[in-house]
Chain A
Amino acid sequence: MSGELLENGLTKQLSNFVNALIAISPSRNYVTQFLYIIKINDGIDYKIIEETYPEIVKDEYVRESFAKAFGVSFKDKVTLEPRKYGEFFVNFLDSVLQIFEDAEFRSKVGFFLKNEYPQGIPNLAQEWLEVRLKGLSSEPTYGMLALKVLKEIVRVGRATIEELEKSLSMGRGDVIETTKLLKLYGLIKEDLYGFTVSESLKKYQHLLEGV
C-alpha cells in the first residue's frame, strides 16, 4: 500500500476513534451527562434528578429499563450501583476528559484531523464546564442568583453560608438553594469550613466572565 493511501486510511480510522470518544463526552450526550452528574455528586436526591432529567426518571418503564441496563439505583437517593457497568463507564469518562485536556494529545491528533477540526480538537474538560455554566445560567428559578453566588465564592476563595448572606445581602433560603444547585453542577464543593470552587472551574475561571 502506498504511503498516501496508508495515511488516508489511518486518518479515517483515527477520525472514527476520536469522534467516538467525543460523542460519549458528558458535554455531548444526555445519557452520559445523567450518569456523570450522579458520579460527581456521589448520588443525588430523587426529586432533584427527576426535575433535571425528566426523560429518564419520570416514566417508570424507562426508569426501570435504564436502571437494569446501566446499574442505577433509583431510591430516595439516586446512585450508581457498585461494580456495575454504569459505575465503570463514568470512571472511564474521567480518563476521556483528562486526555482531551492534554494539549499535546490534541495537537498530535489534530495533525491528522485538521480538515475535520480546523479549529483544533476540542478540549472536552473545558467544554463540559462550559455546558454546566450555560445550563446553570438558564435554570429558571435560581440560575442567575446562583451565578452571582458562584462569582462571589470565586472572588473570596472560600465562604460560608453566613458570609454569603452578608456579602451578597441575600436571604438564607436563597443562599441554601443556590449553593445546592452549584454543588449539583459540580461547580463548588463543601467542607467543614465552607464552600470552595471546584478544581475544574479553578483551571478555567476565565469562562465565568463570559457567562
Chain B
Amino acid sequence: MNNEKNLKDHLTNLINALTNLSPSRNIISQLILLTPEDQATLNNSFPEVNISEFREVLRAMGIVFGDKIECVKDSFAETIIKLIDKTFDWLDDEYIYFYFDRYSDIRIAKMDNVRSNLAKLTGQHIDLIPNPYLEWIKLVIEKLSHEYGKDKIAKILKELLTQLPLTYGGHYKGKTLQESIDEIGAKIRLTPSELKEICELIIYSEGKSEHIYRIRYGGWDKTTEELWIEHSRYHLDPLLCTSQRYIISSIGWTNEFKYELRHKESLQKVLGEIT
C-alpha cells in the first residue's frame, strides 16, 4: 500500500520515532513517566505544567491533577508509559516474554538479538542503533550523582552488579533482597533515608511490580511459579524476580525467590563512564 520509500528508510524512521518518544529525548514523555508525583514536585521540575493550555493537552491524554499528578487507568498516558518500558527493553536486548514448549511447560526467553537484526535491516553499525534505555540511565545517574555524590552512586551500581543474582528462601539460606540492599547501604555509609530514596528511584519501588506470569503445577506438592519485573520510580527496572512456592515436608509451604539483574551491559557501560 505504501512503499514509496525503501524499507531501510521506513525502519530507520520507525526506530527514530520510538526513540523520540523516550524520556531522554522528550520532556512530555519524561513528565508522564514520572507520574504519580506530588503536584508541587512536578511543578518544580516541569514549570511547563503551569501553562493552562498544556494542562489541557495532558488532561486529554488521561493525566489528572489533584494533590498528586497521575495517569487515569487505561488512558493514553498509561499506554505511553508501557511503550517506553517495552521500548527500553526492546532496544537494549532485554525484552522478556514467555512461551509454552512442546510439553506445554512454561518457558521464559529474551528477545536478545534485536539490535543486531535491526542493524542488518537498516544497514547501520549496531552502535548506531539508538538505545533509549542507555540514554535515559545516563541522564538519571548524572542527576543522582549531583544529588548524592558520584562516588556513592557508582558504588551502588558496582555492588548491584556483583551481588546479583541472589537466591533465598526454601532450600537456600542466602540473604534476602532487602538484607543485601541494607548491606550495600552500610558499606557505602548511606543514611537509611538516603538508601530508601535511592533504592526507590533506581532499584525497585514497593507495589510497582509488573507481573509477567503465574503458573500452578499439579504435582503432589502443587508448586506455584511466578515471574515479575520490579519497576523503580525512574523505570530503570534492573530486577527480574522469580518466585517458587512449594512444600518442604518438615516446615510446610515455603517461598523461594531468585533476583536476576537486567540491562547488565548498559549498567556496566554507565558504571565504566562514571568511574
Contacts and interface: CB of A to CB of B under 8 A. Distances in A.
Interface string A52-66: 110110000110011
B118 A69 contact: yes
Contact of B99 (A52, A69, A82): A82
B97 interface: yes
Indicate the size class of the contact surface on chain B.
35 or more
Question: Is chain A's interface secondary structure helix, strand, loop, or mixed overall?
Answer: helix
A10 B53 CA distance: 11
A83 B60 contact: no
Contacts of A27: 2
Contacts of B54: 10, 14, 112
A29 B18 CA distance: 12
Interface in A12-32: 13-14, 16-17, 19-21, 23-24, 27-32
Interface string A75-89: 000000011110011
Contacts of A20: 16-18, 20-21, 26
Contacts, number: 137
Interface in B1-52: 1-3, 5-7, 10-11, 13-14, 16-18, 20-21, 25-29, 47-48, 51
Question: Is chain B's interface secondary structure helix, strand, loop, or mixed overall?
Answer: helix
B57 A108 contact: yes
B184 to A, nearest CB: 33
A65 B9 CA distance: 16
A82 B106 CA distance: 13
A43 interface: no
A87 to B, nearest CB: 9
Contacts of B76: 95, 98-99
Interface of A: 1, 3, 6-7, 9-10, 13-14, 16-17, 19-21, 23-24, 27-33, 52-53, 55-56, 61-62, 65-66, 68-69, 71, 82-85, 88-89, 92, 95, 98-99, 102, 104-105, 108-109, 111-112, 131-132, 134-135
